Structure 1
Amino acid sequence: MRNLTYLKNCPIAVLGAGAVGMTLAADCKLGQPDREVRLYSRSKKSIAYMERTGIQMDGIQRNLYGFERSGCARLDMYTTDMAAAVKGAKFILLSIPALGHEEYLRRLVPLLEDGMVIHTYPDNYASFLLRRFMRESGCDKDVITGGWGSAPYGTRVEKIQGFRTNHVGIKYRAITLRGASLPMSDMDDFIESGKYLPCMDSVYTGNGPERGDTMIDIGFSNINPLIHVPASILGVSSMENWSLVYGNEPESYSMYSHGLCPSICRVQYQFYQEQVAIAKKIGIDYPKWDYEMFFSRRSILTQEYMGLDENGKDNVVFPLDRPCDEGNTGPNDIYHRYITEDIPVGCKIYHDLGVKFGVPTPIIDAMITIGGAFHEKSFFKETKYNLAYLGIGHLTKEQLLDYLYTGRYVDDVKSTNK
């Protein structure tokens, strides 16, 4: 292992000023006030007023061990200049929608410095893209890159009549997250580095990080496509009628609280079984969830922050036959990221892996088809996300596994000769 003690007090650069990015930055600053924390956004609007107001962080912060951190975090830098944000910052935390990864990562590659450690929340295949862009640009900086299946929190930005404030409210804090590095030869260092991130304190003082098995495993560990897509697609009538027909307060609909039902949970489990079949065919590990764990108003998410008992069962279950306000709100329309990101990114890559390795994915394919029909398009065709985009489409199974574990990469001869 490398000596990573230099990470203890180094500057932290957070790229992305959405709910998770703001919370990561605030959590790091409040957890280690003397640490330099910088927040970058490509949008001036998203960081407007922050120099005057700071970031106010609070919320229920539900978790098994009662970890809580609140306050007003006044960061050292709010900027739309990525070079200024990352210069000398050995920690780079990336948290933006997956469809924005390419723009951010292409800007980041020329700015990389030896010794940097990149954490992505959730990874959503960003590690594949970063390594691809590094190869294409001839960047040979010695960096560690990896990501997590989720963020350390369920968090939302408070809005007042549609106006975005600088207040984030944490619904829950994770006590465990599944992560991995690319390549896996950096795994020990990647997991060790997380100890020096205050935003990961609830995980490292909780049940600890869970070691994933390659970045493909982390793609399966991202529960957003698995939970969000079937519930959003199959519950679309409840969502669209929520205010107009049923007379409820606009934007109060919750896919968890109002959309889930036993039939949808059965579809989610079958969706998961297709992921399992792909992982087994490739020969990698995958997250383990039992059938009954899906039948809760928080689905399989609860164990991320409330844990499992001595028998491996959920400590907390929210029965489907009772009202529940535990879940975050959304989606409110078909343009929500639960559909426009989780389908053309997450579901599409699962489909492509199934095709490559000969594993049928009828449930996943149905979600892609119907979600596309909502938008009168084909998410099979109208997405840049495929295995070639990640840089792994041409690799054989053996070459892919070697790349994932050791970092040895075989160029696409056909592309090279074009």
Structure 2
Amino acid sequence: MDICILGGGHGSHAAAADLSAAGHTVRMWRRDAQALAALGKPPSIDLEDADGTRQVGIELATEDIALALRGARLVLIALPATAQDELARRMAPHLVDGQVVFLAPGSFGSYAMARRVRELGNQAAVLWAETGTLPYLARKQGPRQVRVSARAVRLPVGVYPARAADEALAVISQAYPCVHACGDALSGALMNAGPVIHPPLMVMNAAPLQHFPSWDIHAEGTQPAVRAVTDVLDRERIAVREALGYGAPHYPLADHYTTDRWMYGDAHRALVRSGDWREHIDLHGHRYIAEDTEIGLAFLVSVAREAGVDAPTAEGLLAIVGAFLGRDLRRGPRTLAALGLHGLDPRELRRRLHDGE
């Protein structure tokens, strides 16, 4: 299958190498010409995983997004939600009927990007989908090296418009056989683990993050008090899903720490053991704040309010981060109000998400 991968971070490199090694034709786009040049000519990536290290060639690495998208059946976006609006603007002139755009994860970006592309004049029948996490636990080790600590074994996927879910999933499953349907785009967005796991880790580790040059929030930062808050926050997420009529499995985050039933299976110990998440984290600019809190957690809070679900932990964490950032995060760009979905009758909301606009 022809696959286009947009982005140049950890997940993009992991996906480009992994999917190319699986026999797909992979074209990779990013804006940074110098970084692309580091992949060589012809381009290749050194993939390290449990099977060792091997060099994997990819079809194309380019700054030309039109060239990268041309002919692609599947478009994988492994970029932060903060990049989605600009990326939609770049993609809009080039998307065509039948392409499947897969956000991993999305923070309801499947709906937001589809809306933006339509506003820019492209009415192509594009299928948009999102899941709850990246298909990989991965970290780049150099300009052309990426280490994969774990691969997802279960990926719940929501599709917009939901009426096209079977078609979209048939395409995505060629790349990731572990995907399964979880309903519409809102259901997919409410599977996103980032806004549940990362805001408590950032808030409750704020002092050591600012004091020490590097800190592993998934190792020494994940203590019982932090886990307790995470569990409560996740119960609020699940309550929102249930209030909106979405059924199990909800993938409770507690399973990530205690069982093999979560999206990555029994992967938390491998994540900690790798040491790849010991890093310097800027409380004001890191994606755990800019993406998972300002966008993802604000989205969760807005949906909870719309669903009539009490979510004091989500509200409190959002308020604390807003306090040290100096702004009210309840009025961000990824709330239902900002997306024009505030105040809809639940049946009308589900109809829009099923039929599209």
Question: Aligned residue for 1:325?
Answer: 273
The answer as to 2:127 corresponding to 1:179 is no
Q: Where in structure 2 are the equivalents of 1:84-99 lying within 5 Å?
A: 84-99=67-82
1:209-248, aligned counterparts within 5 Å? 209-243=179-213
User: Offset at 1:267?
Assistant: 0.9
Task: Name whichever structure is richer in strand by fraction.
Answer: 2
Corresponding residue to 2:28 among 39, 54, 60: 39
Distance 1:284 1:28, change over 3 A: same
Give the structure 2 partner of residue 3 of structure 1. Answer: none
Find the counterpart in structure 2 of residue 193 from structure 1: 171
- Amino acid in structure 1 at the alignment position of 2:234: Y
Contact 2:253-2:262 within 8 A present in 1 as well: no
* Superposition deviation, residue 287 in structure 1: 4.3
Question: For 2:77 and 2:52, how far apart are their aligned partners in 1?
Answer: 21
CA contact under 8 A between 1:29 and 1:73: conserved in structure 2?
yes
Matched, 1:117 2:100: yes
Contact 1:22 1:55 in 2 (8 A): no
Contact 1:148 1:177 in 2 (8 A): yes
> Is the radius of gyration larger for structure 1 or structure 2?
1
Query: Superposition pairs for residues 390-409 of structure 1, below 5 Å?
Result: 390-393=339-342, 395-407=344-356, 409=357
The Cα of 1:367 is off from its aligned counterpart by: 1.0
CA–CA separation in structure 2 for the residues paired with 1:281 and 1:358? 8
CA distance in 1, matches of 2:36, 2:132: 26
1:250-278 CA-partner distances (Å, limit 9, x unpaired): x3x21111111111111111111211222
Partner of 1:305: 264
| Pairs within 5 Å for 1:144-293 | 144-159=127-142, 165-197=143-175, 200=176, 204=177, 208-243=178-213, 251=214, 253-285=215-247, 287-289=249-251, 293=255
Give how far 1:220 is off.
Answer: 1.8
Quick check: 2:156–2:182 contact (8 Å CA) kept in 1?
A: yes
d(CA) in 2 for partners of 1:48, 1:189: 36
The verdict on how the C-alpha distance between 1:232 and 1:75 changes in structure 2, with shifts beyond 3 A counting, is same
1:75, 1:157 → 2: CA distance? 17
Cα displacement string for residues 212-267 of structure 1 (whole angstroms, at most 9, x for unaligned residues):
12222222211111111111211222333334xxxxxxx3x211111111111111
SS at match of 1:112: coil
CA contact (8 A) 1:105 1:129 kept: no
1:220·1:287 contact (CA, 8 Å) conserved in 2?
no
Moved over 4 A (4+): 289-292, 299-302
Map of 1:76 onto structure 2: 59
Pairwise CA distance, 1:25: 1.3
1:187 corresponds to which letter in structure 2? A
Identity fraction in percent:
23
SS at 1:273 equivalent: helix
Take 2:42 and 2:139, find their aligned partners in 1: how far apart are those partners? 17
Match of 1:21, SS state, is helix
User: What is the aligned-residue RMSD (CA, Å)?
Assistant: 2.6
SS of residue paired to 1:96: coil
Among candidates 1, 12, 20, match of residue 29 of structure 1: 20
Q: TM-score, normalised by structure 1?
A: 0.77
In structure 2, distance between residues paired with 1:15 and 1:289: 27
What runs of 5+ residues in structure 1 fail to find an aligned partner? Answer: 1-8, 62-67, 160-164, 244-250, 308-315, 319-323, 410-418
Deviation at 1:289, TM superposition (A): 4.8
Note the C-alpha offset of 1:301. Answer: 8.5
TM-score (norm 2): 0.89
Label 1:60 to 1:317 Cα distance change in 2 as closer, same or farther (>3 A): same
| Residue among 125, 136, 139 paired with 1:142 | 125
Match of 1:6 in 2: none
Matched ranges for 1:45-60 at <5 A: 45-52=34-41, 54-60=43-49
Alpha-carbon spacing, 1:386–1:289, altered in 2? closer, same or farther (3 Å): closer
User: Counterparts of 1:326-405 in structure 2 under 5 Å?
Assistant: 326=274, 328-329=276-277, 330=279, 332-334=281-283, 335-381=285-331, 383-393=332-342, 395-405=344-354
* Partner AA of 2:20 in structure 1: K
Counterparts of 1:55 and 1:157, CA distance in 2: 14
